Structure 1
Amino acid sequence: MENELAQLSINDEEEEIIHIPIDPNTENRGETFQLVGCFLTASTIHFPAMKSTMANLWHPVKGVRICDLGEKRYLFQFFHAMDMNRVLKGSPWTFNNHLLVLYKLELGEDPLQIPLVLTPFWVQVYNIPIGLFSDILAV
């Protein structure tokens, strides 16, 4: 068998393109389930500790892959929309008291070019006088 494999070669006339159809049931319709993030700190983030801590905090059902992109940016690749959306809805997140700013990547976006400057916060205000209650102020 080794002799047969050693004699194999591809000629120009043998180069045939094989098209493999994509099953529409397994295609994710262009969604990447990726977040890019950075921590608001001037200090260095210990990547292995952050990776382990965030994965344990989020505990995604289908898993998460966390990559260091350099330039203090990280890519969070989820394998199901439910996991990514739960992380986004649970914002803001911190690691060692440093705020994690997240952005949902769309197909084709460069994670190193995204301006990471906004993050949602919930604010609860107490003792507002009754005359100042309004739906406009709540938004």
Structure 2
Amino acid sequence: MQREVADYQLVGCFLTASIINFPAMKSTLANLWHLVCGRGEDPLKIPLVFVPFWVQIHDVPVGLFSENLAIQLGNFIGVFLEYDASNLGKENRNYMRIRVQIGVRKPLRRKKQVMSCGICSYVKFKYERLSLFYFFCGRLGHNDSYCEARMMMG
């Protein structure tokens, strides 16, 4: 019974530097989600610092497309979760696709050097359905209008 209840819980956070209109947010979410069994854990005490993302790996040298490379690159980006083998061999799909658990407090990785037949090249990472993100500092949750790293540089 306890496992069934856990299947219907929702905890989330907003990745933004903006002020959240709490009454509007509460009203919107209340229309979508309803408490059935009262309250459980305090949501403020649940750390929401890891997010799973699908990541496309582009510019992989010919002959290096493998699940082993996908796992290595996934662990370079964050924590490897899953490899999408259905993408292989499809026309117009010249990239690998992996699911990775990423720490939202760290900058996102953009590329990684790989070696193939003694030649160094770079594979590039494209994050699917990426929310608010600023490439200057590589972090989620804000854009150019509010970036502490950029403000410190002047």
TM-score past 0.5 threshold: no
Q: Which has the higher contact order (CA 8 A, sep 6+)?
A: 1
Larger radius of gyration: 1
Pairwise TM-score range, normalised by the shorter structure: 0.3 to 0.5
Please, what TM-score do these two structures have when normalized by structure 2? 0.36
Please, what TM-score do these two structures have when normalized by structure 1? 0.39
